[in-house]
Structure 1
């Protein structure tokens, strides 16, 4: 006997399809088959069979249907290969894998995917084709026509499309691209947002000699992504377009992130040009490329301008100095210092810092090299606190002669790159090293710039320490949000966002009223107040705890390498402390789940399924393990939502890892079955990320503040309703309606009332924008810097005259920068301008002084000419 669910429900015995009775009987059997070899709770089955509300006789009706299924199995003598068992808290359909088409499909698709991943493309086609042939239409099509909308149905359709893409990729890789162009075109038409399908279609069309059609397919997908989702195509898809233009596309496209593809047929060897001279022998600046050399064979993408050999950066410098005392034997000093330095290095590198100096008993690290992060300063302070606590624990464990002195200074440095090794040059490095030795030990000391940059996030003493150097240093004790400190602290008021709060409230009201979930994506530029808005919304909900439960996940501020956000969400709900032992985690998790579900089999099963989240060496889950854990977390949310509606806030979706995105995709498929409101904040620079597919999906964009709202925010920060003198028209232009910019400039004026705040950029604004620039490819970043030297509209011809040898190459970079919302096209469409004046200021400030002055002179000639 065979059970078929990949299409209308069928039970086939000896080639004959058996009658299945009414829709409720088919629904019960279909649901059990979709969860074959899994325990399904009785309450869960009643809920999915009668989604609009179960009758009082539902449990009896379910028992009658189970008896009917058992009689069917008995009549066909299916034991022991197939049996429907009573298994607390419900039923278990135990069945051989070969008897259910869904289980055969999953096995074959998995085998094909593994072969494809190993590069055995020809071998992958057979199991994938066999798996796809099992499908006779939508899963349980006869039930969906009757109104069944189980989340698992959408997930299985996604699995089918993924298997189809795997199969088509394998077929194209072995050269059968001609046979699948029509099928791919139909797939892209039906699923216009699937970039992988578009990529395969572009490759197939290109190798069929239809380069123009391949480019049109790319443009069609770009438009669908932008119109439907407000997203742009991924970097990989854009690079494929570039290589199609350059006639260099392999049958299997697998570009590595951050690397440029090279031509498949190399050009003939020719003498290497002198990097320091132009073709006519005149010297040229080191960062500018020389004229192109002709080459035979396929034309590669125009080489991009090389990265500057030096760059100015605002960084946080962590300096650690050890005092070994007089009790250490001379022979042990070297080993002890090496161990101490290794411990500090591990703490620094775990959060993205870079150790730049180990001299004697001093270790120095910078945060912001090679790439700037928005929370570099917080990461530096947090690391210093970790190092302090580490040595305090050693001292408590026994007598230790080692004391540690720690400081965090925020300053500008010059980063020089030789190959892949960055070299840091700045007087601040030497100043920090001399200064730390005069500071009191066992305390984290931060400079005034670090204190201002941290704002309310850094908790410190009220009286600074000047010491022999005369520089003010503050003792940092913790970061806001750590376990010992409450999250609720004064923040600037939320201004001009009443309409947006009303929209959030209406979404929650719909979730509560209808008992079905919704997904709302909140889009806004960096600093536009997305987190502030959802925080205020969460506070309003918490004032009435019975209305809904608020849970949060997403990026972890202050850490370059964030912890597992899914695990963090569950840990916060269960009251698990960071880094608690596995035995304690299991006990606390079991107690929390028992409090939710009661002391039974379901609670114990859910606890076991959630425990992999907290395995100390299992942060990277893949495949079926990750799917099982995600399903368990979704089941937990379902249980929580049964108690009262849940509001799940997901911050910084643009920075989310694949694990969180996969979990959210799963949740999107189930959101219609529970009262759950998912609010995800993201930036418009979201590129190449998955989207949450759900009929309940809505997007809301935060607009810039009006000038009156900026003035209100300014006065609130300064605590003076009349102090708008410093808010000049020039500063209003620089703020440009960005709430975070207004707050940071106002705080700067609060600390420097006698200085014009617009003359220097606050450190937090610098870091946010610099992090965006450091996320660019090197060639795009260099073009952006070159654009800061242009007076008036930014046009490709002008930038090419500044030293770039290919106008088309410059135009491509400018288009990429406009897609990333760093540039905007002017009204006539011939040139570009910076999307925000601060972007230009920071890009220009990153140029070293020598490069800046030389380039300024060349730009000046162009302006005068």
Structure 2
């Protein structure tokens, strides 16, 4: 990266200053959120002083943007909520000049002006002196925007080679083609151009050698055969097909174009067909369509089968998973572009396809994320093979990634677009590598575009992506009405689903007024979700005591009593019998059962506070959750003693991987006692409730007993 003022370079000091300016230049004249800048500058772990370091870098950049000789500022870095805006003339950024030149060259290429197109594209490519922001890449920067820029550059090379081959310059470009094809083995269009250039240069053997190497690379690395166009070109070279010859342009007539492996421009002298296509068929096919580049949101899903799936039914399981994925993509208005084995690619926003009539383009990201959530919800509940009732269930765990970016594809009238390449697919593959089975990850761009309709788990998002918890019922992409309508309820439902799918405990702290209409309504809404789950979820409630009482013994004791079925009127002997039956039903009748009973019984009947009692309770809850998913609700945590706070704070970290959701309801005073409560952990989420009642909340005289009475 280089900044030039009046022909002289402006010094840029420090990697963070260079990276901040580079990222802002890639998004010039756009508002870039501070959180997005922080993720771009610190891609692994963000240090506590990151915001201060970013502010220092911004101040340094502003000192560089001094007025030019005329006195008028040429650029300005503005603070614009929720981040920064770098305002400047696009002509002052060489990348934007490159994009304009390539756009002009492609227009000339489409019009058949081969020589003008070659000049424009060569001028654009001549601006490059290496990889984009190579100095930052050397420091470990890996931005999706840089991958998109590199894709744009490679596409410009291919368009330029098309124009120069059409002008008969095959001898001049063989060297450039060989060098570029060596570094880009998967690009079939590039290798096809090299084959044609070698063939026209009298090097048929070398042209066939390029095909053999390309074929071997695709089969060995990706497990796929070359495309139809490259195979046809190979046949034409073997047959010395006259369609590959380049007739001279007589009487000032323009030379004919090349058979283009990307859908190059048509030959004006052949009725809209390429020269090669005209020679291949006596019955002319429809005119080929040139590739188009569009901004889309892609959904990439892949299904994995567990070890218990019988081998003879693996194919049927894969078909079922792909069919379910395709159905959800199409239900939300997407287009299924391709399916390979268990992997399915859906596209939202391709011009003229998929979206329902009247759907605005900005909804593409929302509909794509909602489709991904629907795919997630189809498994494993819908994983049984419907063709074989009563057979061994197919356990399909679908991982799904959603990303927004550029896609290069060939439009087709009666079929999905034929994908050529695009940074959006690479972004999906990177996200998919970090996605847990049964999970969904979303890129930064999609996250920002869909936040009005989708709730994300910011506390538990893994590095490199955002995890959506659910769609808001009032969102434009919601498939139907739901009860509740609260963002907080969507978060709770999503976290419960996350706990179930991943078998990992999670702590949720609800900061509000226990027993209020909002808290009660939220718990009732979650209860409805629990009742609708295909897998039974047990809910245990540690109720709050009378005013002024200590919650520590009553909360844990009420949880143990609820599971064992001990009533307040039971004698000690009856309570011990019920507890013994419950514990032995969990762990059998051995030493562990005896140890648990000996420490849980004092906790239940005389509020024992010993460390062994807390240890036994932790073990007890772990065993319950191992049997079926468990929700533990504890009220009035702000009034608990230090022992209970330590127990709840460490519970999800110290138990084994089990589906356990711990919900602590507390007043905001809890954070004054424990300022760091639940922060800096992927297994903890804090939700602050608005004190105002929602419009559809129950009346204020509904107490916490209303919610408690509805629990299973």
Q: Same fold (TM over 0.5)?
A: no
| TM-score bucket (shorter structure) | 0.3 to 0.5
Return the structure number with greater relative CO, CA threshold 8 A, min gap 6: 1
TM-score (norm 2): 0.43
